[in-house]
Amino acid sequence: MRLTFQDIDHFLALSDARSRHEAAASLGMTPSALSRVVQRVEAEFGLVLFVRHARALSMTKEGERLAFALRQMSTGYAVATGVIARLRGDCEGRRDAKQLRGIGNLRNAPILQRTGP
């Protein structure tokens, strides 16, 4: 199975939210649909990314590291599509600012440095 950019955006929204319900509402989807996205992301990477509690989720260290890396990827993709749009004379690009979740989170760079064994 391959993840879509939408799966990644949904995963990042959940990683930024205080609850699954808050993230789902901000994305216009149900909490159960968002849970299925999380299950797909976890299955794709073979990692547990969230610890499930009775009424909440918390990210594992692996989840935090993956969120950081996916934010960088998402930001890089948005920048690349913006460059391509400008080269073609199209000012809009393909991704809007709402999808650039990672730009403000680059201060988390030390998380990636701890990904070794």
Domain containing residue 25: CATH number: 1.10.10.10
DSSP track, the chain: ----HHHHHHHHHHHHSSSHHHHHHHHTS-HHHHHHHHHHHHHHHTS--EEE-SS-EEE-HHHHHHHHHHHHHHHHHHHHHHHHHHHHT-SS-SS-GGG-TTGGGGGGHHHHHT---
| pLDDT at residue number 22 | 92
- Domain carrying residue 15: 5-113
pLDDT band at 89 (very low <50, low <70, confident <90, very high): confident
Tell me the per-residue pLDDT of 31-88, one tens digit each, with 9 for 90 and over: 999 999 999 999 999 999 999 887 778 999 999 999 999 999 999 998 999 999 889 8
pLDDT band at 19 (very low <50, low <70, confident <90, very high): confident
The mean pLDDT of the chain is 81
Q: What is the pTM of this model?
A: 0.69
Number of compact structural domains in the chain:
1
